[in-house]
A and B are shown apart, each in its own frame.
Chain A
Amino acid sequence: MSPPLDKRAPSLPPLHTVTLTVNGKETQLKLSPWTSLLDALREYMDLTGTKKGCDHGQCGACTVLLDGKRINSCMTLAIMQEGKQITTIEGLAPTPDELHPLQQAFIDHDAFQCGYCTPGQICSAVGMMNEGRVKTTADIRELMSGNICRCGAYTNIVDAIEEVINKQTA
């Protein structure tokens, strides 16, 4: 194997002050421009509820909400998200002693096993419900397919989400 043709100049970009609003709280960080939102949350803010499963937008474990819209936090840079309302799994519940209805439904339906994809599944489900596109069970399956669960809890995940949707529309 020959070495790469374009020898890159080894230099680091300067750090920037970035203000992120996460779960209603503003935090100032010194970050590289290439720090992903996911790494900012996990490595700089100790918000480890958001998971890294692939770092390529292929598994959905890092799903968070940006102004209520679901997004793979590994696929966006922290520096791009100033001024946005970022909600992670840690900020979903109305109070620290309560659970979001989806969190409770996931427990009730045993919609997880190892738990690693779970925060992403729940954030994704919140985002999906905000989109208002779900009409059938098949819609849930389709629209939740960006979140891989290797333990195979899919049927329970669908049951949990369906229960919450039905309660909301009842």
Chain B
Amino acid sequence: MTAIGKPISRVDGNEKVTGKAKYAAEFNVPDLTYGYVVSSAIAKGKITNIDASDALSLDGVLKVFTYKNRPKLAWFDISYKDQDAPPGSPFRPLQDETIKYSGQPIALVVAETFEVARYAASLVRIEYKEDTHETDLEANLHRAREPKSGIASLLKPPPPKPRGDFETAYQDASAKTNGRYVHAAEHHNPMELFASTVVYETDSKKKPKLTIYDKTQGVTNSILYVSQVFNIPFKNLRVVSPYMGGGFGAGLRPQYQLFMATMAALELKRSVRVTLTRQQMFTFGHRPATVQNVALGALPDGTMNALYHDAYGETSQFEDYTEVVVNWGGMLYPPENVTMDYKLVPLDVYSPLDMRAPGGVTGMAALEVAMDELAYELGMDPLELRLKNYSDLDNNEKRPYSSKELRECFRQGAERFGWSKRSFEPRSMKKDHNLIGWGMATGIWDSNMLGARAEAALLVNGKLWVSSATAEIGTGTYTIMTQIAADTLGMPIEDVLFKLGDTDFPIAPISGGSWTAATVGSAVQAVCEEVGKSLLKLAKKMPGSPFKSAKWEDIEFVDKHLRLKKDPSAAVSLMTLVNLNGGKAVRETSGVFADVMKQKNFTRSAHAAAFVEVMVDEELGTVKVTRAVSAIAGGRILNPKTARSQILGGMVWGISKALHEESALDHTFGRFMNHSLAEYHVSVNADIHDLDVIFVEEHDDVVNKLGVKGLGEIGIVGMPAAVANAIFHATGKRVRDLPITLDKLL
């Protein structure tokens, strides 16, 4: 019985459907106090006066924290840098009177109840001296500059140097397209509000000892931040996050409620919970507004000879958030004349933050629309153009991929979708009074593996206990890790308990970038193998043991037994073996890193082909994505059920990005105006129709031993362009400005 590859239902499913799964704001402890954040009403300037007297006069209000009365904190920037901090100087809540962006947290009211804290917060009167702010990306493009580089640049390389001579080749091209692509800022908006519950206790020396329930994509990141900023030793800190109500990148950096709740708990010597409001969910990182220019040129037969792609992303005045927006075209397509450029425009906003397929979905949403435009310039089927310019090389690095089954994605996806029945001309397919359009696009995302550690213990009752301080953000981490552990030691998944989200467990990186399955999965596999090796040692000690001369390669774990591969009758149960361990569990801890030597000559990526059908009501301008097919080459699929869900989620995000999502800035106030779920539109149930997912078979022993590539991002990357291209096919209107709302089609 093997668990890997089976569509097993989530092992945490029962807890999630019964309401037993606890999220950060749900750990209720005695004498808990509540903090409520006061946000800045201006985008830039200084606080000139804070009057908290009315707030403080209320029964039950304990304290109003502001920059004036906050405790002394760490001095150097380095103390505030987290695992996902871009180059620059991280934002420090309550640092001083300076306002750097609209919605900046400027006070925390702490009271005995949530209701009193909320009311008291409304009574805090702040006066400001306003400075002129700049929040308009398009009006400030002339201020664009090169981004600073830092550690983040390792996973986010700058564009490669130009190859060939784009200008000349573009002039010589017989078919060409040149366009400007724009999208506004977007906010992650996970359903769970950011929250931290800080439980205050003291150790034997009366020093503070905190247990922090935090909404985070990495407990390790939170503990490092708290330890450094508040100067508390690790031994007096524990960060716990067994569940997270959605991340999508929002939890890759500690958000300010963690700072606020921790500060208040230390000062008041009480347990404190701070939960942000939905409006405050728009006051930290977001997908940056980006302006892109793409120009493509091709010879009459469709061979691309010229590619230009630049991008101008917004960032804050204090950090240089970067993402890989433009590199993908040079990687995917083989023209010999390529120029790519990426610049930043600092504005008076909070630093942008990785949001599902950061950069990738931004760049591909422009590039793959440009590809469609080129196909129409050539009079060529858009899929045919991709196949004509298909390459097995990463054309930036001139090296092969560790595996790339994109061609098979095109084939299977097109077949399932019925692409061959498409008529080329725009506006040529109609149903009743609606225009029908079919569009397609390519998706690509990095397959990275980082380092992680895990612990495993085969207990005397025969159960396997495995742990790692990774996160369950909805991706299915609990389930796939259970499957990997079960298979490695030949156990049923019912006998395996995998735990995560606790800094008492071995260290794991923040869960993002589609690397958790590869990274933590490899650590779980490795540590279970270590337990297996210890079990073999015990087996060798048995009287008359058939394993005396057996090596690791000679044995296997099947059906709760260790046995010889050559002679399956020579078997011993794991229970028997663990009982030979002197009444103790067989316990191991170990870590893994990527096999850099094996990987260095390959580019590692997941690929996708997205096919979309839209129905456009021309009189109303409404767009409905009636069906979509995504064919995914994502390496080995550990669990087809949870994997499919991840891709479905990515597809919904792609539709949402193409048609709905936009954080609208009012530049008069420098503020996101639609800061609620009523006005920041995301796809709802009625927006989503037939979605189909195909996993193309793909073997890859370079990415990692498990052969997994990660699926968190690849589902979204191709979708926005496929939707936009389908809308062009339906209407003949080329919209290069996302989201494609009805006003742009009327």
Which chain A residues have a beta carbon within 8 Å of chain B's beta carbons?
1-4, 7-8, 10-12, 32, 34-35, 39, 42-43, 46-56, 58-59, 61, 88-90, 93, 99, 103-104, 106-108, 110, 112-119, 122, 140-142, 144-158
Q: In the complex, A167 Cα to B196 Cα: how many Å?
A: 42
Known contacts A107-B9, A113-B476, A114-B246; is-contact A155 B19 (Cβ 8 Å):
no
Closest A residue, CB atoms, query B479: A110
Query: Can you list 18 contacts pairing A with B, beta carbon distance less than 8 Å?
Result: A3-B51, A11-B58, A35-B115, A43-B113, A48-B22, A51-B245, A52-B275, A55-B277, A114-B191, A114-B192, A116-B192, A116-B243, A141-B686, A147-B685, A150-B246, A152-B649, A152-B653, A156-B645
Which A residues lie within 8 Å of B128 (CB)?
1
Residues in B whose Cβ lies below 8 Å from that of A8: 54, 122-123
A142 to chain B, nearest CB (A): 5
- Minimum CB–CB distance from B123 to chain A (whole Å) comes to 6
Which residues of chain A are within 8 angstroms of B54 by Cβ–Cβ distance? 7-8, 10
Q: Which residues of B contact A11 (CB under 8 A)?
A: 58
Say yes or no: B649 contacts A12, CB within 8 Å: no
**Residues on A with beta carbons closer than 8 Å to the beta carbon of B57:** 10
Instruction: Output the least CB separation between B564 and chain A (Å).
Output: 38
Q: How far is the CB of A84 from chain B (nearest CB, A)?
A: 19
Q: Is the CB of A53 within 8 A of B193?
A: yes
Contacts A39-B114, A110-B645; is A59 near B686 (CB within 8 Å)? no
Which of A1, A116, A145 is the one whose CB lies under 8 Å from B23? A116
- Top 9 closest pairs, chain A to chain B, by CB: A49-B19, A152-B652, A116-B245, A114-B474, A115-B16, A113-B474, A48-B26, A152-B649, A89-B19
A contact residues around B18 at 8 Å (CB): 49, 89-90, 93, 99, 103
If A52-B275, A116-B191 touch, whether A145 touches B60 (CB-CB below 8 Å) is no
Tell me, yes or no, whether B663 is within 8 Å of chain A by CB.
Answer: no
Which A residues are CB-close (under 8 A) to B9?
107-108, 110
A12 close to B22 (CB less than 8 A): no
A132 to chain B, nearest CB (A): 19
Chain A: CB-nearest residue to B15: A115
Please indicate the chain A residues that have their CB under 8 angstroms from the CB of B120 in the complex: 10
B243 touches A115 (CB 8 A): yes
Contact yes or no, A152 B676, CB < 8 A = no
Contact A52 B246 (CB under 8 A): no
Given A43-B28, A107-B13, A107-B14, A156 and B191 contact (CB-CB distance below 8 Å):
no
Give A95 Cβ to nearest chain B Cβ, in Å: 12
Chain A residue numbers with a CB within 8 Å of B641 are 110
Query: Does A151 contact B17, Cβ atoms closer than 8 Å?
Result: no
Q: Which residues from chain B contact A142 at a C-beta distance below 8 Å?
A: 685-686
B400 at the interface (CB under 8 A from A): no
What residues on B are CB-neighbors of A106 within 8 Å? 13, 17
**With A39-B115, A155-B648 in contact, do A118 and B688 touch (Cβ < 8 Å)?**
no
Are B645 and A59 neighbours in the complex by a CB distance under 8 Å?
no
Chain A's closest residue to B17 (CB) is A103
B28 to A141, Cβ gap below 8 A?
A: no
The answer to whether A34 touches B115 (Cβ under 8 A) is yes
Residues of chain B within 8 A of A35, CB atoms compared: 115
User: Within the complex, what minimum Cβ distance (angstroms) separates A113 from chain B?
Assistant: 3
Say whether B473 faces chain A, with CB atoms less than 8 Å apart: yes
Partner of B26, one of A42, A55, A112, A118: A42
Is B192 a contact of A56 with CB atoms below 8 Å?
A: no
**Assembled-state Cα–Cα distance A55/B656 (Å):** 23
Report yes or no: B191 in contact with A61, Cβ–Cβ below 8 A.
yes
Q: What residues of B have a CB within 8 angstroms of the CB of A118 in the complex?
A: 16-17
Q: Report the separation of the CA atoms of residues A55 and B276 in the bound assembly, to the nearest whole angstrom.
A: 11
Nearest chain B CB to A41 CB, angstrom units: 10
Nearest chain B residue, comparing its CB with the CB of A152:
B652
Chain A residues with CB under 8 Å of B602's CB are: none
Given contacts A108-B9, A114-B243, A115-B243, contact A99 B19 (CB under 8 A): no
Residues in chain A near residue B651, CB distance under 8 A: 152
Contact at A12–B42, with CB atoms within 8 Å?
A: no
> B648 to A116, Cβ gap below 8 A?
no
Bound together, the chains give a CA A3 to CA B382 distance in angstroms of 59
Contact B688–A155 (Cβ < 8 Å): yes
Q: Kindly name the residue among A8, A145, A152 whose own CB sees the greatest number of chain B CB atoms within 10 A.
A: A152
Residues of A within 8 A of B691 (CB): 155
Nearest neighbor of B715 in chain A, beta-carbon distance: A152
Bound-state CA distance A4–B127 (Å) is: 11
Contacts of A46 in B (CB 8 A): 28
Residues of B within 8 A of A90 (CB): 18-19
What CA separation (Å) do A32 and B58 show in the bound complex? 14
The docked-state distance in angstroms from the alpha carbon of A4 to that of B125 is: 8
Which residues of A have CB within 8 Å of B473?
114
Chain A residues with CB under 8 Å of B21's CB are 115
Q: Assess A49 versus B648: contact at CB under 8 Å? Given A59-B677, A114-B246, A148-B684.
A: no
B235 within 8 Å of A (CB atoms):
no
> In the assembled complex, how far is the CB of residue A57 from the closest CB belonging to chain B, in whole angstroms?
9
Within 106-128 of B, Cβ neighbours of A (below 8 Å) are at 113-116, 119-120, 122-123, 125-128
User: Which B residues are CB-close (under 8 A) to A157?
Assistant: 685
| B12: Cβ under 8 A from any A Cβ | yes
Instruction: Flag if B243 contacts A158 (CB, 8 Å).
Output: no
Task: Decide if A88 touches B19 in the complex (CB within 8 Å).
Answer: yes
B678 partner residues in chain A, CB cutoff 8 A: 56, 58
Within 8 A of A (CB), among B673-690: 676-678, 682-690
Residues of A within 8 A of B127 (CB): 1-3
Contacts of A54 on B, CB cut-off 8 Å?
A: 278, 676-677
| Cβ contacts B31-60/A at 8 Å (1 or 0 each) | 000000000011000000001001101111
Contacts of A48 in B (CB 8 A): 19, 22-23, 25-26, 28
> Given the interface contacts A39-B115, A52-B25, A154-B683, does A1 sit within 8 Å of B474 by beta carbon?
no
The answer, among B191, B646, B686, B690, for a CB contact under 8 Å with A149, is B191
Tell me whether A152 and B191 are in contact (CB under 8 A).
no
Asked if B160 lies at the interface with its beta carbon under 8 angstroms from chain A, I say: no
B190 touches A150 (CB 8 A): yes
- Asked whether B646 lies within 8 Å of A113 as measured between CB atoms, the reply is yes
Q: Is B176 interfacial (CB 8 A cutoff)?
A: no
Contact B649–A153 (Cβ < 8 Å)? yes
Q: In the complex, what distance in Å separates the CA atom of A53 from the CA atom of B26?
A: 13
For B122, list chain A residues within 8 Å (CB).
8
| B10 contacts chain A at the CB level, 8 A cutoff | yes
How many Å lie between the Cα of A1 and that of B131 in the bound state? 12
Does chain A have a CB within 8 A of B644? yes
| CB neighbours of B645 from chain A (8 A) | 110, 113, 151, 153, 156
Bound-complex Cα distance A49 to B191 (A): 14
Cα separation A154 to B651 with both chains bound (whole Å):
11
Complex contact A148–B20 (CB within 8 A): no
